Amino acid sequence: MGLNLGSAAGGSLSAHLHQHVVPRWGGDANFMPVIANTKPLIQTLGANRDDIAAAWPRS
């Protein structure tokens, strides 16, 4: 179950709470593949930044 609260949740009403109930199964990572057809990046923000900086073309 996921809970979204207020305007940051992207709803049309800023003062509301809505819930998502998502099925789970053995060995899954989380709800992202079910809802958004994507997978989470299991990496710290700093490590992600370092990877992007290393791959960015130098001018």
Active-site positions? 18
Indicate the DSSP class of residue 55.
H
Alpha carbon distance 42, 6 (integer Å): 27
- Identify the CA nearest to 9 among candidates 24, 1, 21, 19: 19
